[in-house]
Amino acid sequence: MTAAHSLLTTALPTASANRPLVKVCGLKYPDNVAQVVAQEVDMLGFIFAPKSPRYALDTLDAAQMRSLSVIKVGVFVNERTAVIRRIALHFGLDAVQLHGHETPAECAELAAAGLAVIKAFGVGESFDFSQLEAYVPHCSLFVFDTAGPAAGGNGVAFNWELLRRYHLPTPYLLAGGLGPDNAAAAGALTLPGLAGFDLNSKLEQAPGLKNPALLRETLSQLRPAATSIR
């Protein structure tokens, strides 16, 4: 087992009714990274998709990144695996989140390189969870986000009841428009495979800049949550 896989496989069983995993995604400024880390989240997400307003390649401090003890996730959209591996090495990433049309073979290649792989999917009314079966052997975690015009960060929630159709063994994070206005409802969910939550645009005062007060308020509603991996 690689160190990257070990970090995630150690964290996942700790996801419980009172402390679901929380990932804060779309960070790009070193000072803001430190503010978020201080609130004891489990995972940080950094977007390396050039078209995103949260593109972080040129703003992050690599030395700070490598020193962080939380799980560091690089988010990529249809990027070449060689580029992903190079960026992961530079910033000391523990996992990569693939938010495009990446194939199971690409996930397998990155997993073989020692990276924990998280595959994100946009969920709509007609989404067929059986299409994820080929990804299961290569992914430590899935992210279920709102299907929308952008690969992520659309700021809109989807119908969470659709997740009752999920039947695969890989745990997942719920994403899509999560913030203070709906965190209590999200925290009360009891869904098969739900390990935690992926927070992004609803916590921002500007793209890539998280508001610590909004994060604190959201965490206070999620952390006493009734979520579990079932």
Q: What is the pLDDT of residues 72-95, one digit of tens each?
A: 999 999 999 999 999 999 999 999
Instruction: Record the tokens describing residue 163, joined without a space.
Output: 């997740």
Task: Judge whether 86 lies within some domain.
Answer: yes
Give residue 15's Cα distance to chain centre. Answer: 14
Indicate if the pLDDT at residue 17 is higher than 60. Answer: no
Q: What whole-number distance in Å separates Cα of residue 47 and Cα of residue 67?
A: 19
Task: Judge whether 162 lies within some domain.
Answer: yes
Q: What is the structure's pLDDT at 12?
A: 63
Element (H or E) spanning 214, and its range? helix 212-222
Strands annotated E in 71-228: 71-76, 95-98, 116-123, 141-146, 172-175, 194-199, 204-206, 209-210
Task: Judge whether 228 lies within some domain.
Answer: no
- 141 and 172 Cβ atoms separated by less than 8 Å: yes
Q: What is the pLDDT of residues 173-189, one digit of tens each?
A: 999 999 999 999 999 99
Q: What is the DSSP string of 50-116?
A: TTSTTB-TTTS-HHHHHH--SEEEEEESS--HHHHHHHHHHHT-SEEEE-SS--HHHHHHHHHTT-E
Residue numbers of the domain that contains 122: 3-222
Q: What is the structure's pLDDT at 7?
A: 60
Q: What is the structure's pLDDT at 126?
A: 92
Q: What is the pLDDT of residues 39-75, one digit of tens each?
A: 999 999 999 999 999 999 999 999 999 999 999 999 9
Q: What is the structure's pLDDT at 146?
A: 92
Instruction: Record the tokens describing residue 201, joined without a space.
Output: 């645009």
> Rounded to 5 degrees, what are φ and ψ at 13?
-65, -15
- Point out which residues pair with 118 in neighbouring strands: 97, 141
- Point out which residues pair with 98 in neighbouring strands: 76, 119
Q: What whole-number distance in Å separates Cα of residue 212 and Cα of residue 137?
A: 36
Instruction: Record the tokens describing residue 22, joined without a space.
Output: 């929380």
- Residue entry with tokens 């079966």: 133
Task: Judge whether 229 lies within some domain.
Answer: no
pTM over 0.75: yes
Task: Judge whether 87 lies within some domain.
Answer: yes
Mean pLDDT lowest among 4-13, 28-37, 68-77, 166-175: 4-13
The mean pLDDT value for 98-113 works out to 97
Q: What is the CATH classification number for the domain harbouring 54?
A: 3.20.20.70
Domain count, the chain: 1
Strand duo 209-210 + 204-206: pairing: antiparallel
Task: Judge whether 64 lies within some domain.
Answer: yes
Q: What is the pLDDT of residues 128-167, one digit of tens each?
A: 999 999 999 999 999 999 986 655 555 789 999 999 999 9
Residues composing the chain: 230
- Point out which residues pair with 175 in neighbouring strands: 198
Q: What is the structure's pLDDT at 147?
A: 83
Task: Judge whether 7 lies within some domain.
Answer: yes
Q: What is the structure's pLDDT at 19?
A: 81
Task: Judge whether 230 lies within some domain.
Answer: no
Q: What is the pLDDT of residues 180-226, one digit of tens each?
A: 999 999 999 999 899 999 999 999 999 999 999 999 999 999 986 43
